Amino acid sequence: MATLRLGDTAPDFTQDSSEGALHFYDWAGDSWVVLFSHPADFTPVCTTELGKTAALGGEFAKRGVKPIAISVDPADKHKEWIGDINETQNTTVNFPILADADRKVAELYDLIHPNASATATVRSVFIIDPKKVVRATITYPASTGRNFDEILRVIDSLQLTDSHKVATPANWKDGDDVVIVPSIQDPEELKARFPKGWNAVRPYLRVTPQPNK
């Protein structure tokens, strides 16, 4: 399958997992989803990542996001690994890990990159919205652990910009000023949408306080 691009529909699937058979669309429901892949169980960087995901469960939940992991090992190995994760990372893994032994999901999501490895999945993150649209992807090398602050930041940006006519500038974090999208030019609409006002640094660069704060 061709590489999934932003705006594509995330493929549906049914696959075994650490929590039993899982039908992706049914499991996701109306939630946002963060799907992230791992090359194998019992790998050091991934152990820390799954632990961090579990520790951030409350942060994902308050954003309406369900995390789900994927590894090519079978479900019984996942359950053994979860024991290690819980013990070494001082947390409780409470989200499913897909057991993609037949690489069905890896193929659907283009997670086998032959130039990196002919058999192991690359370490990618897919942020998927409630309409099952792929909104962001991040791919990491095996040696570099994911930045979960960045993953949460991207989700915050997507959810904010979906609901307000703004974009988020470089290094933006929730609560920082944002920029008004250039398509809004009508003065009355600007006043209605941004009653706190804005600073027109340039005609195309109008900075305003985050509208939902």
Number of H helices, E strands in the chain: 7, 11
Q: Percentage of the chain surpassing pLDDT 90?
A: 81
How does strand 65-71 pair with strand 32-37?
A: parallel
Report the alpha-carbon distance of residue 137 to residue 28 in Å, rounded. 18
In the chain, what are the domains? 14-145 (3.40.30.10), 164-208 (3.30.1020.10)
Quote the pTM value. Answer: 0.93
Per-residue pLDDT for 47 more than 90? yes
pLDDT tens readout for residues 168-177:
999 999 999 9
pLDDT tens readout for residues 142-154:
788 999 999 999 9
Per-residue pLDDT for 20 more than 90? yes
Return phi, psi of residue 148, to 5°: -75, -25
User: Among residues 4, 10, 22, 46, which one is catalytic?
Assistant: 46
Per-residue pLDDT for 200 more than 60? yes
pLDDT at position 110 is 84
Report the alpha-carbon distance of residue 154 to residue 173 in Å, rounded. 9
Query: Within 13 Å of residue 182, how many CA atoms lie on the same side as its CB?
Result: 5
Q: How confident is the model at residue 118 (pLDDT cuts 50, 70, 90)?
A: very low
Residue-wise over 40-49: b if at least 16 C-beta within 10 A, else e? ebebebbbeb
65 is an active site residue: no
pLDDT tens readout for residues 67-100:
999 998 999 999 999 999 999 999 999 999 999 9
